[in-house]
Every structure is written in structure tokens, then in C-alpha cells.
Structure 1
Amino acid sequence: MAQTHEWMFYEVMWRSWAGRAQVPYPVPWWAQQAFRRWSDDYDAGSYDSKEAAFASNALYRYWGMVGVKDHRQESLIGQAGEIEPVYDKYCLSFFLFDPATGALHLPQLTDGGTVEQRREAPHLPVALTTFRTADGVEFVQRTFAVPVGARQRDAVVTRLTVGSPTGQAREGLLCAALLAAGPSGFQRHDRNGREITDRRLTFLRYLPAEQRVETNSGWGPVFDTAPQQYGVYGNPEFSADPDTYLHHSPFRDLVMGGKLNGSPQAQDQVAGLCSAVFSWPYRITEDEVMEVDVRLPVDLYAGADDLAELRATPADELEAANREFWTRKLTCQGVQPELPRPVAHLADMFREARSQLLILSDLGEIHPGPTVYDSFWIRDSSVEATACSLVGDSTLAEHQLGTHYPLKFNRGGGRIGPCAEYGFYGGPHEKDDREWDSNGQALWAIGRYDRTRGPATAFGAKLYQPYVLDGARWLRDNRDGYGLLHSGWSAEHLGERDKPHYWDDLWGLAGLYEAARLAERIGAPEVSELWGAFDDLKAATAASVRWVLGEQARRGAWETYIPTGPGDVGRLDSTMIGAAAYFHPLRLHMGSKLGDEVDRAARYTLDTMYAHFVTGGFRHEAAWNAYGPYLTMQLAHAYLLAGNPERADELLGWVVGAAFPRTQGRAAALGAWNEQHAFPLASDFREVPDRHWYMGDIPHGWAAAEYLLLVRDLLFFEADEDRDPHLYIAPGIRAHWVPSGQSAGVEDAPTLFGEPFGYRLTHDAGARTVTVRIGAAPGGVRFVYPCRFGPVRSAVADGRRLDVSACGDDVRVPAGTREFTVTYA
């Protein structure tokens, strides 16, 4: 049964939307999408009622984000420029009012006008919202987050300019609305009680002397320029009638009388739907604009001294400091992909993904999202830290792995279900959901980072005892009677939590492999012990997969595929995406670590998935009933490593489009991915599922990390680091990416060989040649260039002709080469 405030919120939103022709109300974009194709089939497993599901915004979790690198709290940006500081109980948005006509112009309801939204530049986390009314008045809103004062506390600054693009004289009111609901929803309240975000606004007060708003017990916006009018509204009569909020509102007062109530304070103990509007008059002509700056104190502020510190630095200086920091960080530091004009947008998105991970980092912990995923997972962080280390953000990676992983290493003597507590990596997430993949992920990430940093840093040696050794022993000692890891819910895209999943075993193998190699590198005495643990899990996993393949064949299955686990024989659904990890990120295909039969089956599984579950992107209907952006990237990456760049390119094309979804001509996101991409948004509502779907956060840190790793490996990737170390140059650079005379490449990029690598590839279509000039390169590492332009005819390296007769399109280039040229047919 719906709680009172959930029911009230639903009714207020619905009645506002249905009656918008009389008195417009800023109904959030996500609520509009829900009303556009309403369904009573909500997720009853998570919510008690349709009103609770609606209030939590369970279906359309799209927004932009701004934040400060390494700070705790992010702020969300809605499709109409709304600003929602995640842990503060209010949302701020802007609109225009024409007193002469009584017309409200809300960017949420364009009414013949237009709303455009973008990032100010690909490397700048600055949200730019432009709203133009039908009669030619325009405001431009720039929103960014920046540290202020001596203590470098967070603040969001939003700067508005009102102008007349046509040059006609205009006058009216610029208004700021403060409301309870924001881009993320009103209140997330589900059955398990672990994900409660209470955004009810029960008390609201404006302090004119301080030009500051109080929201419940916290601080709200601070205005650089005092508003000329204001009005604060609540529910003083404790009415249970939703129409109270429609009839007693700042929007109705403006439309009906052109004025606000002038009250500085209100409360609402029924639904928590207090609201307020503040207004500034404007009169503009051809060359004039009106400007208003507002500061949102996102961090902890209290008292007159803090208010003075928040206000001390002019907004111009804060904006310049923000631009200078991100420009230096993202365009001058770290890996800078050089990509030719047809795919230059991939490099822009690379910088955006880097900024998202840096903003989602909370003092070195990268959290997968800003709201419901604002906590630390071993699984997500293993991929995120690895991505950071390989794109040049190694300090963040080192904090993740060297500081926060040991804090998640359990030392107790109890039990977690069927497994020992001691030696297990994980906090509440991993323990409560039996996420048995976490030890393999921790060991894998530590080992890969140790390789990247090189022996001089001795990163792995510092963590070997007890974090690597005892974490590996936990994998050895905590398996079921078949030698596999126990049933659990390591990743929600794998299927049910009461079954075992090969995903866990594949991660366990990769972790044990890295642990054994680390032991070899530092000369530890447990080398043979760790290889024994690896071989034991390898034998059990390979035997189980072979049994499943045989059983499926016996039952008459004509397609070869590895299902999600041994308890799912014959289950041909999208949960088999877990098998993509065999290729990426685990590289178990290199050296065919599970044997040729399993290797072949893993390759066939990619094609089976593509045939059944790819429509542009990967459709995960078995668990999420939505597209999976990071799963699509995993599949693309697996195809790249398996030698099928065409499929990788096709999937990448969908990924790019999914970062900028639009519906009814409006941008739903600004270059980021949710954990899930809803079918209605992906199709502009041509496809609406007949059952509920699942929706996570955006930006999703794991997805951002997957994109960084994919673009980096399209440029180059390492292979067989321990036996025959070599490096693939431009394995994903397709012929249509590089017009004649243009180049692709990278400089001084970190590698798993512990030394940087760089190259530049230049295409000459007239001569049918590709020339690669190598800059920094790891010593003793040979190169492979898989030519994507046409069949290889000849190759010359440093003036010496290479034998290309037996290599197909893979040109093998000796270690130490500085330049080679390939001629193709």
C-alpha cells in the first residue's frame, strides 16, 4: 500500500500534467515519460505500490552530472537544467514569466519554444542548457561544480543570462523554482529498506538578510543578487487533498495574479512538497543581457564564516578555475587518443568518460553511480581501477587498490553462508549477496596494476602478504563439491542468486593466475602452491563446461554456447553474456587457458549471443528487460580480442548513439550511459515492453571504464605478457576511420609491460600504404600489426623487408623497430 506522501506526489504530478493547459507546472522529464505510456505493471518485487515505484523514478533514470574530483557528493542536472544535489532535499530550476500576458514559460514544457542541452566542451563537466520561448526570449544556464575557499569544499555554481536573440526589447521575470522532486525522483523507498532516499521537503525558509534558503535542516541555494520577489508555499492546513498543492502554489499565483505570496517560511508535514519561487526582473534590448548567479553549497556549511567563504570568490574566477583544472587534467595529462576526423568524437567521449570516473571517485573510492550506486563494490572498482591505470590516472587506481581494497579484506573467523569469512574481499554488498567473484577481481586488478607500474614501484610486493596470498587461498578453499565457486549473485546480469555462475570461476582463474605470476615476479616461496590452486580451479571449470556442452548436444541443441552456469543447461538466454569475460577483461583465451574445446565454445558463444540478443546493442531481456550499455561494450571488446573488428565496430556505433539518447527532440543524456538503457528511450517510444524493466544510475562508472578500456585497446593492446610478450598495434582501427593523409595513434600510454608505448599510423590511399612510426616502446616486446585496409602485399621495417607470406593480414614486426610501412592490395 502506498504511503501518504507517495500517493500525494503521484496525484500532484498526474493532475499537474493533465491540467497543464490551465496552470503549467514544472513536471520533471522522467515523470512525463512515465505518463506518456503509463503502465500499472510496476516491479512488485521491489515496491509495495505503483505510487512507490513512480515516486522512486524506477523507469527513466536519465540525467547529467557535475561534481568535484575526489569529493563525496555529486549533483544531477535534469533535462531542463534542474539541479539536484544528491544528498540535499531540494531541486532548483529556472523559468521565465511575462507579467503582461500572465504566461509562464517553463523549459519542462516548451510550449512552442525549444530546449537544447550539451556539455560546454567534451572535456569540461559543465552543463549548458539553452531555453528559448516561442516569442523569442532566451536564457542560457551554465552549471558546474567547483571547490571553494581554503578548505576546498564543494559548491555548485549556476550562471544564467537572459537575452533577446532577435534584438527586440523584452521585459519580464527570470524565476528560480525550488521544489522537492528532481531528476532522480521524489523518494526511493523499496521493500528491502536498504535503498531509501527521502527527498521530502517538509520545511522551507528564505532568509532575505543572507540571500539564502534553508531546506529542512540544511542549506539551500545562495543568491549573489537578491531576488525582487519571493514566495514560499507549503500545506499549513495539513490538507489531505492533492488539489491543495495545485491551488496554493507559486505557479498559480503568478498566472492568476502576477505576484508571489511574499511569505518567507512554510511547512508541509503531510507530503513534504514545500515549494518556493524567487524572481528577478529583466528589461533587455539588442545588445543587453541580464545575469544572475546562484551558488549551491553542496558540502557541509554552517554559520556566517562559511557563508562568507562560499561568497568570497567571484563567480567569474570560480568558472575560470574550473575550466583551467579540467582542461589541464583531461587534455594535457594522461592518455590522449589521436583519432582522425571521422571518429574524432570517440576521443571526445574518452575524455568525458575519464571525467566521470574522476568525479565519481570519493576520496579514492570510485562509486558506480551518483545515487543508488553511490557506494563501493569490489567488482566494479576492479574494472574502474584498471581503466584508470591504463589511461594515466594511476594515482586514483593506486588509492582504489592499495588503500581501499585492504579495508575490504575480511579478517574475522566467522562464516558467510557456505564460505569462510577470513580472506574474503567484500563489504555489505559482497557479503549480503554472496558475490563470490570479488576475490578473483581483487587479485586480478592488483596483479594487473603491479604489471603496469613496473618492478620499481613494488606495488604487488607490498600487498602480497596477506592480501594476495590469503585471498588466493580463500579461492582455493571455498568451493563446492564440484570444485566450482558456490551459488551466489555476483552480478545481477547473470541470473538467479541460488545458482552457480561460470562468471565467478572465470574471475577466480584470472585472479589466481595473476597471484601466481606476482609470486614469481617477487620470488615468493608460494609459487607452486598458487599454481596448484589455479590448476585445480582450471580443471574443475573446464570439466564442468565440457559436461554442459555435452549435455546440451545430447538434448539436441544445434547451437554451441556456454550458459550462465552448470545449473542452467540448455538455458539459451541473455544471461550467457557472462561468458564474454573469458575474452574481456580476463584474456583467458590467450594461451587457451581452459583448453581448446572450451576456447572454441567461448568463441561460438559470442556468435550465439550476437544472433539472438543483439539489435544494435545487447538486449538483456532475461534479467533487466533493457539494453545493457556496458554489456554491449564487453561484447564489442570480446569480439576485438577474438579477431572480429567488424563486429566490434558495429557494437561501438550503437554505444556511441546510446550515450546521447533523445526523445521528442530532447536530449535525455549528455554523453554517458546508464547501467541499463530503456527500450522506450532507445526507440523513442516505438518499443515499450509489456512488463516492467530495471533502471540503474547514470553516469555508470563501470560503463565509463569499459569505454576507456575499449577505445584504448582499439588503439593497441598487449598479449601473452608472460611467455611471448607482444603488442597489437591499431587492431581496431578500421579502414573507413582513416582517410588518406590522416593519422591515428597515441603517445606514452601505460602498458602491462611496465613501460609506456606510443605510435602514429598514417594512411596514404593513393600509394596504398600504411606507415607506423613508433615512439616510446617497452624493451624486448615485438609488435603485430593487423592490417584493416586490405590484403597485405609487402612490409618494410626500418629499411628491412619483412616476410609476410605466412601471416595473413597480421604483419609481425620485430622488437625495437622504429618505423614500418605496409603496402596493401
Structure 2
Amino acid sequence: MARTHEWMFYEVMWRSWADRARVPYPVPWWAQAAFRRWSDDFDAGTYESKEAAFSSNALYRYWHMVGVKDHRQESLIGQAGEIEPVYDKYCLAFFLYEPASGTVSVPQLTECGTVAQRMEAPHLPVVETTFRTPGGVEFTQRTFAAPVGPRQRDLTVTRLAVTAPSGPPREGWLCAAVLPAGPSGFQRHDRRDPGTTDRQLTFLRYLPDEARVETNSGWGPVFDTAPEHYGVYGNPDFASDPAAYLTRSPFHDLAVGGKLNAALQAQDQVAGLCSAAFAWPFRVADGEAFEIAVRLPVDLYSGAGDLAEIRATPAAELEEANRSFWTAKVLGQGVQPGLPGPVAHLTDLFRQARSQLLVLSDHGEIHPGPTVYDSFWIRDSSVEATACSLVGDAALAEHQLGTHYPLRFNRGTGRIGPCAEYGFYGGPHERDDREWDSNGQALWAIGRFDRTAGPGAAFGAKLYAPYVIDGARWLRDNRDAYGLLHSGWSAEHLGERDKPHYWDDLWGLAGLYEAARLAERLGTPEVRELWAAFDDLKQATAASIRWVLAEQRRLGEWETYIPTGPGDVGRRDSTMIGAAAYFHPLRLHMGGKLGDEVDLAARCTLDTMYGRFVTGGFRHEAAWNAYGPYLTLQLAHAYLLAGDAARMDALLGWTVAASLPRTDDRAVALGAWNEQHAFPIASGFAEVPYRHWYMGDIPHGWAAAEYLLLLRDILFFEADEDRDPHLYVAPGIRPHWVPDGEPVTVEAAPTLFGAPFGYRLTHDAAARAVAVDITESPERVRYVYPCRFGSVRAASADGRELPVSGDDVHVPEGTRRFEVTYA
């Protein structure tokens, strides 16, 4: 049964939407999307009612984000410029009012005007929103986050400028509205989190002497310039009729009566739907601009001293400092992919993904999202930290792995389900959901970072005992009767939590492999013990997969594929995506670590998934009923490593487009991914599922990390680090990416060999020739160039002819320049 505030919010939203021609109301984009193709079906396992699901925005979790690197709280930006500080219970939106005609123009409604949005630059977390009315008056809003004061506390700042077209001066009001609902919804709770995070605004007050708003018990917006008109609205007589909320609103008062109520304070103890509006009259002619700035405190502030600190630095200086910081960080440090014009947008997205991960880092913990996923998972963070270390943000990776992983290492003597507590990596997520993949992920990430940091950093030595050795022993000692890891949920895209998943075992193998190699590098006495643990899990995993393959053949299954686990013989659905981890990120195919039969089956599984579950992107109907952007990137990466660059390119192209969806000329996202990309948004509402679907956060940190890793490995990747170390150069560069005269470049890129790598590739189409200059490289590392332009005819290294066999050109270590001609 719906709670009162959920039912009231639902009623007010759809009635406002239905009455928008008479009284424009800023119904959020996500609510409009839900009303566009409404269904009473909802996820009853998660929500208690359709109103609760609607209030929680279960279907359309798309927005933009700004924030400060390494700080806790981000702010979300809606498709019409609305600002929602994630942990504060209000949203700030802007609109225009024309007193002469009584016209209220809210950018949320296409009937009121046009909206354009963009990131100011790919590396800058600054969202620019421009709203233009049919009469040509427009405002441009730039929103960013910045630290202020000696304690560098968070502040979100938005600067607005109103302009008008040529002709006579235009007059009107620029208005700001404080509302309870924002881009993420009206609340964030479900059956598992029954009542702690709804965003009800039960009390609202404007303090004109301070030009500041109070929202419940917290601070709301602070205005640089005090508004000339204001009104605060609530439910003073405790009305239970939704119609009362429609008439007691600033939008109704402006549209019907031409003024605001001038009240300073209001409360609503029924539904928590207080609202307020503030107005600044303007008169602008061609070439003129009327400007205001509003500051949103998103940290702990109190008292007159803190208010003075918030206002101390002019907004223009804060904006310039923000621009300087991100420019120096993202453009001045770390990997700078140099890609030709046809794919220069891939470099832009690379920089944006870097900045998103840095914003999602909370004091060294990278969280996979700003709202429902704003907490720490070993699984997500292992990929995120590895991506950061390989693109130049090593300090963040070191802090995450070296500080926060030990804090998740359990030292108790109890049990977690069928497993021992001691030695298990995990906090509440991993413990409660029995995510047995986490130990493998922790060991894998620690080992990979130790390689990247190099022996001088001694990173692995600092964590070896007890975090590596006892984490590895946990994997050895906590397995079922078949030698596999126990049933659990692990990654939610794998299927049911009451079954075992090969995903866990594959991660366990990768973690044990890295632990054993670290022990070898350190010369510890546990080397043989760790290799024995690896071999034992390897034999059990390979034997189980071979048994499943035989059972499927016995049952007449004509396709070869590895299902999600041994309890799912013949389960030919999209949960088999877990098998992609065999290639990426685990590299178990290198050296055929599970044997030829399993290796061939893993390759066939990629093709089975591509043929059955890819329509542009990877469709995950078995668990999510949505596209999986980061799963699509994983599949693309697996194809890159398996040698099929064409399919990699196709999957990458779809995913890049999925970061920039549009509906009704609105930018739904600006270069970011959800965990799930809804079929309606992906299809322009041509495909709306008959049943509910699942939606996670945006930006999704794991997806950003997957993109960084994929683009980096498209440029180069390492292989056989321990026996025959070599680098694949430009393995994913496609012919249509490289026109004549435009190079592909990489400079000072970190590698798993502990030393940087760089090169410059040029293509002469007329001569059908490729030249690669190695600008820096680790010692004792050879190269492999997989030519994607055509069949190799000849190759040379520093002027010496190389043998040619197939399209993989093998180049000796120490080479400074190699050249390849092709047919």
C-alpha cells in the first residue's frame, strides 16, 4: 500500500502534467517519461506500490553530475538544469516569467521553449544549460562544484545570464524554484531500505536578511543577489486533497494571479511537498545580460562565519579555479590518447570518464554511483582502481587499494554463511549478499597495481601479510564439495543468488595467480603453497566446465557456450555474460590457463552471446530487462583480446552513442552511462517492455572504468608479463580511424611492466604502409603489431627486414622504429 507522501506526489505530478497547458509546472523529465507510456506494472519485489516505485524513479535514472574530486557529496543536474544536491532534501530549478502577458515558461516543458545542454569541455565537470522561449529571451546556466575556505568544503555554484534578441528591450523575471523532487526522484528507498532516504520537504523558510533558504533542518540555496520577489508554499491546513497542492504553488500564483505570496515560511506535515519561488526582475536589450549566481552548500555549514565563508570568493573566481584545476589534472597529467579526427570523440569521452571517476572518489574510495550506489564495493573498485592506475591516476589507486582494502579485510572468527569470516574481503554488501568474487578481485587488483607501480614502490610487500597471503588462503579453504566457490549473488547480472557462478571461480583464479606471482617477486616461502591453491581451483573449475559442456552436448544442445554456473546446464540466456571475464579483465586465455577445451568454449561463448543477445549493445533481458552498457564494453574488450577488432569496434560504437541519448530534442545524458540503459530511451520510445525493468546509477563508475581500460588497450596492451613480456601495439586501431597524415599517439602511459610506454603511428594509404616510432618503452619487452589495414607483405625494424607470417608482426625488443606494408 502506498504511503501518504508517495500517493500525494504521484497525484500531484500527473495532475500537473495533465494541466500543464493552463498552469506550467516543472514536472521532471523522468516523470514525463514515465507518463508518456504509463504502466501499472512495477517491481513488487522491490517496492510496495506503484506510487512508491514512481516516487523512487525506478525506470528513468538519467541525469548529469558535478562534484569535487575526493569529496563525499555530488550534485545531480537534470535535463532542464535542475540541481539536486544528493544528500540534501531539495532541488533548485530556474524558469522565466513575463508579467506583461502572465506567461510562465519552465524549461521542463517543450511547449515553453527549447533547451540545449552540454558539458563545457570534455575534461570539465561543468554543465551548461540554455533555455530559450519562443519570444527569443533566453538564460544560460553554468553549474559546477568547488571547494571553498580553509577547510575546502564543498559548494555547488550555478551562474545564470539572461539575454534577449535584437530589437526593443525585453522585460521579465528570472525565477528560481525550490522543490522537493529532483532528477533522481522524490525518494530513494525500497523494501530493503524502508524509510530513511525520502526527500520530503516538510519545512521551508526564507531568511531575507541573509538571502538564504532553510530546507528542513539544513541549509538550502544562498543567493549572491537578494531576490525582489519571493513566496513560500506549504499545506497549512493539513489538506489531504491533491488539488490543494496544485493551487497552492508559486506557478499557479504567477500564472493566475501574477504575483508570489510573499510568505517567508511554510510547512507540510502531510506529504512534504513544500515549495518556494524567488524572482529577479530584468530588463535586457541586444548585447546586454542580466546575471545572478546561486550557491548550494553541500557540506556541513552553520552560523554566520560559515555563511561569510561561502560568500567570500566571487563566483567568477570559483569558476576559474575549478576550470584551472580540472585542466591541469586531466589535460596536464596522466595518459593523453592522441586519436585522429574521425575518432577524436573517443579521446573526449576518455577525459570525461576520467573526471567522472575522480568526482566519484570519496576520500579515496571510488563509488560506482552518486546515489543508490554511493558506497564501496570490492568488485567495482578493483576495476576502477586498476583503470585509474593505468591512465595516470596512480595516487588514487594506491590510496584505494592500500588504505581502504585493508579496512574491508575481515579478522573475525565467525562464519559468513558457509564460509569463514577471517580472511574474507568485504563490507556489508559482500557479507550480506555473499559476494564470493571479492577475494579474487582484491588479490588481482593488488597484484596488478604492484606490477604497475614497479619494484621501487614495494606496494605488494606492504600488503602481502596478512592481506594477500591470508586472502589467498581464504580462497583455498572456502569452497564447496566440487572445489568451486559457494552459491552467492556476487555481480547481480549473473542470475540467482542461490546458485554458484563461474564468475566467482574465474576471479578466484586470477587473484590466486597474481598472489603467487607477487610471492615469486618477493621471494616468500609461500610460493609453492599459492601455486598449489591456484592449481586446485583451476582443476576444479576446468573439470566443472567440461562436465557442463558434455551435459549440454548430451542433451542435444548444438551451440557451444559456458552458462553462468554448473547449476545452469542448458541455460542459454544473457547471464552467460559472466564468461566474458575469462578474457577481460582476467586474461585467463593468455597461456590457455584452463586448457584448450575450455578456451575454445569461451571463444564460442562470445559468439553465442553476440548472435543471441547483441542488437547494437548487449541486451540483458534475463536479469535487468535492459541494455548493459558496461557489459557491452566488457564484451567489446573480450573481442579485442580474442582478436576480433571489427566486433569490438561495433560494440564500442553503440556504447559511445549510448552515452549521449536524446529524446524530444532533450539531452538525456551528456557522455555518461547508467548501469542499465533502458530500452525505451535506447529506442526513442519505440520499444517499451511489457514488464518492469531495472535501472541503476548514472554516471556508473564501473562503466567509466571499463571505457578507460578498453580505449587504453585499443592503443596497446601487455601480454605474458612473467615469461615472455611483450606489448601489442595498436591492436584495436581500425583502418577507418586513421586517415592520411593524422597520427595515433600515446605518451608516458603506465604499464604492467612498471615503466612507461609511448609510440607514434602514421599511415600512408597510397603506399599502403604503416610506420610506428617507439618513443619510450620498458626494458626487455618486445612488440607485436596486429596489422588491421590488410594482409602484411613486408616488415622491418630499424631498417632490418623482419620475417612475416600472418598479420601479427613480431618486433624485437629495443626497436625504435618499425615499418609495415600491406596488401
TM-score (norm 1): 0.99
Relative to structure 1, the CA distance from residue 195 to residue 782 in structure 2 (aligned partners, 3 Å threshold; closer, same or farther) is: farther
Deviation at 1:776, TM superposition (A): 1.1
SS of residue matched to 1:88 = coil
Farther-moved stretch of structure 1 (388-397 vs 193-202)? 193-202
- The reply to whether residue 821 of structure 1 matches residue 819 of structure 2 is yes
Structure 1 partner of 2:810: 812
Q: Which amino acid aligns with 1:335?
A: V
2:232, 2:446 → 1: CA distance? 54
Structure 1 partner of 2:107: 107
**Is the CA contact 1:760–1:774 (under 8 Å) kept in the aligned structure 2?**
yes
SS of residue matched to 2:567 = helix
- The reply to whether residue 152 of structure 1 matches residue 123 of structure 2 is no
Deviation at 1:429, TM superposition (A): 0.2
Uncovered stretches (5+) of structure 1, i.e. residues with no partner:
none
- The reply to whether residue 336 of structure 1 matches residue 336 of structure 2 is yes
Q: Which amino acid aligns with 1:375?
A: S
Deviation at 1:168, TM superposition (A): 4.0
Deviation at 1:195, TM superposition (A): 8.0
**Is the CA contact 2:113–2:133 (under 8 Å) kept in the aligned structure 1?**
yes
Q: Deviations over 1:617-642 (max 9, x none)?
A: 00000000000000000000000000
**Is the CA contact 2:166–2:285 (under 8 Å) kept in the aligned structure 1?**
no
SS of residue matched to 1:775 = strand
1:78, 1:164 → 2: CA distance? 24
1:194, 1:620 → 2: CA distance? 28
SS of residue matched to 2:52 = helix
Q: Deviations over 1:536-574 (max 9, x none)?
A: 000000000000000000000000000000000000000
Alignment of 1:227-306 (within 5 A): 227-306=227-306
Deviation at 1:197, TM superposition (A): 1.9
Deviation at 1:494, TM superposition (A): 0.1
Q: Deviations over 1:36-80 (max 9, x none)?
A: 000011000000100000000000000000000000000000000
Q: Which amino acid aligns with 2:582?
A: Y
SS of residue matched to 1:450 = helix
Deviation at 1:166, TM superposition (A): 3.7
**Is the CA contact 1:111–1:134 (under 8 Å) kept in the aligned structure 2?**
no
1:287, 1:352 → 2: CA distance? 33
Length, aligned pairs only: 823
**Is the CA contact 2:155–2:295 (under 8 Å) kept in the aligned structure 1?**
yes
1:203, 1:211 → 2: CA distance? 17
2:803, 2:188 → 1: CA distance? 64
Structure 2 partner of 1:759: 759
2:746, 2:671 → 1: CA distance? 23
Deviation at 1:723, TM superposition (A): 1.1
1:18, 1:211 → 2: CA distance? 34
Q: Deviations over 1:399-426 (max 9, x none)?
A: 1100000000000000000000000000
**Is the CA contact 1:675–1:700 (under 8 Å) kept in the aligned structure 2?**
yes
Q: Deviations over 1:462-504 (max 9, x none)?
A: 0000000000000000000000000000010000000000000
2:383, 2:623 → 1: CA distance? 22
- The reply to whether residue 97 of structure 1 matches residue 104 of structure 2 is no
Deviation at 1:111, TM superposition (A): 1.2
Structure 2 partner of 1:170: 170
SS of residue matched to 1:552 = helix
Structure 2 partner of 1:19: 19
Structure 1 partner of 2:201: 201
1:300, 1:342 → 2: CA distance? 46
Structure 2 partner of 1:188: 188
SS of residue matched to 1:350 = helix
Q: Deviations over 1:356-388 (max 9, x none)?
A: 000000000000000000000000000000000
SS of residue matched to 1:677 = coil
**Is the CA contact 1:75–1:86 (under 8 Å) kept in the aligned structure 2?**
yes
Q: Deviations over 1:677-710 (max 9, x none)?
A: 0000000000000000000000000000000000
Relative to structure 1, the CA distance from residue 546 to residue 194 in structure 2 (aligned partners, 3 Å threshold; closer, same or farther) is: farther
Structure 2 partner of 1:547: 547
Q: Deviations over 1:501-558 (max 9, x none)?
A: 0000000000000000000000000000000000000000000000000000000000
2:139, 2:121 → 1: CA distance? 19
2:776, 2:620 → 1: CA distance? 41
Q: Which amino acid aligns with 1:374?
A: D
**Is the CA contact 2:77–2:183 (under 8 Å) kept in the aligned structure 1?**
yes
**Is the CA contact 1:784–1:810 (under 8 Å) kept in the aligned structure 2?**
yes
Uncovered stretches (5+) of structure 2, i.e. residues with no partner:
none
CA-atom RMSD, angstroms? Answer: 0.7
1:166, 1:823 → 2: CA distance? 59
Structure 1 partner of 2:482: 482
Q: Deviations over 1:124-181 (max 9, x none)?
A: 1000000000111010000000001111100001000000134442110000000000
**Is the CA contact 1:758–1:776 (under 8 Å) kept in the aligned structure 2?**
yes
**Is the CA contact 2:61–2:696 (under 8 Å) kept in the aligned structure 1?**
yes
**Is the CA contact 1:187–1:196 (under 8 Å) kept in the aligned structure 2?**
no
Deviation at 1:435, TM superposition (A): 0.0
Q: Which amino acid aligns with 1:463?
A: L
SS of residue matched to 1:493 = helix
- Percent identity between matched residues is 80
Deviation at 1:189, TM superposition (A): 2.3
2:420, 2:287 → 1: CA distance? 72
1:272, 1:766 → 2: CA distance? 69
Structure 1 partner of 2:362: 362
Alignment of 1:579-728 (within 5 A): 579-728=579-728
SS of residue matched to 1:456 = helix
Deviation at 1:110, TM superposition (A): 2.6
Structure 1 partner of 2:771: 771
Structure 2 partner of 1:505: 505
SS of residue matched to 1:482 = coil
SS of residue matched to 1:525 = coil
Alignment of 1:383-422 (within 5 A): 383-422=383-422
Q: Deviations over 1:296-317 (max 9, x none)?
A: 0111100000000000001110
Deviation at 1:112, TM superposition (A): 5.4
**Is the CA contact 2:165–2:285 (under 8 Å) kept in the aligned structure 1?**
no
SS of residue matched to 2:442 = helix
Q: Deviations over 1:173-228 (max 9, x none)?
A: 00000000000000122111268422100000000000000000000000000000
Q: Which amino acid aligns with 2:698?
A: I
Structure 2 partner of 1:220: 220
Structure 1 partner of 2:531: 531
SS of residue matched to 2:354 = helix
SS of residue matched to 2:513 = helix
SS of residue matched to 2:110 = coil
Relative to structure 1, the CA distance from residue 610 to residue 196 in structure 2 (aligned partners, 3 Å threshold; closer, same or farther) is: farther
Structure 1 partner of 2:132: 132
TM-score (norm 2): 1.00
Farther-moved stretch of structure 1 (106-115 vs 95-104)? 106-115
SS of residue matched to 1:111 = helix
Q: Which amino acid aligns with 1:535?
A: D
1:515, 1:409 → 2: CA distance? 16
Structure 2 partner of 1:380: 380
Structure 1 partner of 2:437: 437
Farther-moved stretch of structure 1 (335-344 vs 762-771)? 762-771
SS of residue matched to 1:125 = strand
1:199, 1:455 → 2: CA distance? 50
Alignment of 1:455-474 (within 5 A): 455-474=455-474
1:49, 1:442 → 2: CA distance? 39
Farther-moved stretch of structure 1 (477-486 vs 195-204)? 195-204
SS of residue matched to 1:746 = strand
**Is the CA contact 1:167–1:287 (under 8 Å) kept in the aligned structure 2?**
no
SS of residue matched to 1:748 = strand
**Is the CA contact 2:105–2:112 (under 8 Å) kept in the aligned structure 1?**
no
Q: Which amino acid aligns with 1:714?
A: I
1:745, 1:502 → 2: CA distance? 38
**Is the CA contact 1:136–1:166 (under 8 Å) kept in the aligned structure 2?**
no
Alignment of 1:798-809 (within 5 A): 798-804=798-804, 806=805, 808-809=806-807
2:295, 2:617 → 1: CA distance? 40
**Is the CA contact 1:97–1:104 (under 8 Å) kept in the aligned structure 2?**
yes
2:264, 2:625 → 1: CA distance? 47
Q: Deviations over 1:629-663 (max 9, x none)?
A: 00000000000000000000000000110000111
**Is the CA contact 1:441–1:507 (under 8 Å) kept in the aligned structure 2?**
yes
SS of residue matched to 1:174 = strand
1:608, 1:196 → 2: CA distance? 44
